[in-house]
Amino acid sequence: MKWLGVLGLVALSECLVTIPLMKVKSMRENLRENNTLQDYLEKHPYGPAYKLLRRHQDPGKAFEPLRNYLDLAYIGIISIGTPPQEFKVVLDTGSSDLWVPSIYCSSPACAKHDTFNPLLSSTFLVSGRPINIVYGSGSMSGFLAYDTVQIADLVDVAQPFGLSLEEPGQFMEYAVFDGILGLSYPSLSSERITPVFDNLWNQGLLSQNLFAFYLSSKDEKGSMLMLGGVDPSYYMGDLHWVPVSKPLYWQLAMDSISMNGKVIACDGGCQGIMDTGTSLLIGPRNPVRSIQQAINAQHSYGSEYIIDCGAISTLPDITFTIDGVDYPVPASAYIRKSSAHICYSNFDEASPQELDPTEVWVLGDVFLRLYFTVFDRTNNRIGLAPAV
């Protein structure tokens, strides 16, 4: 499914200052090494230090803190209109459109979320064109409009976006976010409109035509979307760059999926989509069922599989090999424990209409929490490195 989030993380820039015979560590590094980073963030989510650091960030680079909602969604806060109206949105690399609920929406979902009021914005323009977007877990229909959108410190003028009139079903009604901001290629946009990231670049607001995600595990605070640049303190080693195989989604070629050195899926190669708006690891039915069998997961109901919680400490890694590089996913990542101390498999089957006839996998947050990911539009490539 499609999700994401915000609460305050301090955008601590990686400014290494050199003086004779000494390298001074960044504030982030010092706080992390003294195990005080989390305490600092909780006490100063939007305090003076946060504002000071944001003012002194490199021009053309912006940081948007994300809220991790139970490892299910990563949510950011944006504003639309003049004066600004705030919304919680999923920052989603698996779609390209921006939309939020409108005051004209009649669905129960809209009554439970913040809604945009065009009458209160002096910069609002309506196009009159209808817009309909369907996701794996829900849908919206409404109309296209234009207004100023702010994300982090970046102000995107005359951004096209959708305003919902209907959000059918229960999924959106109980969602922890108001709308969705897509970060995939323009060709994936429902109305071929220019996505937010493309407009940020076209308006000269970014120094580099790329963005990156650091997704925290379990901690509500700590996740970050980086726009126009990368902070290397969020990952270890070097980034491994992989070309985008199909510039629609953020899609790349995978070599195999293996366990204990034996290929258990993607035999002979397959495709993988890096999707921050999907919480699980999703693949074709038969390969996923083979993996469920290999980890001794038992079918419960719907698409859920239950697994013995003790398996977290005994099962081996499942390794995704991409461009000759192994990316292991440990059992502690592909098994999740519920509040009722029941454990579930984090592998899920794609519905037949969701993916191509070829073997395509969606590497959602389960994978992306482990690997810092850079999405480079200039070179149409994805950079991966172990997250800190």
Provide the 10 A C-beta neighbour count for residue 378: 9
H runs (alpha helix) in 195-273? 196-202
Instruction: Determine contact, residues 187/377, Cβ cutoff 8 Å.
Output: no
Sign of CA pseudo-dihedral 201, 202, 203, 204: positive
> Helix, strand, coil shares of the chain as percentages rounded to 5?
15, 40, 45
Gyration radius from the chain CA atoms: 21
CA distances from 172 to 98, 112, 114, 306 (A): 15, 9, 12, 26
Nearest-angstrom CA–CA distance, 253 and 322:
7
What residues contact 70, with CB distance under 8 A and at least 6 apart?
A: none
Question: What is the total residue count of the chain?
Answer: 388
Q: Contact at 8 Å (CB) between 317 and 328?
A: yes
Q: Which residues of 105-143 are buried (b: 16+ CB within 10 A; e: fewer)?
A: bebebbeebebbebeebeebeeeeeebebebbebbbbbb
∠ CA 150-154-159, nearest 5°, is 50
> Which of 92, 97, 147, 231 does the annotation list as catalytic?
92
Which residue in 275, 348, 365, 376 is the catalytic one? 275
**275 tagged catalytic:** yes
Residues designated catalytic: 92, 275
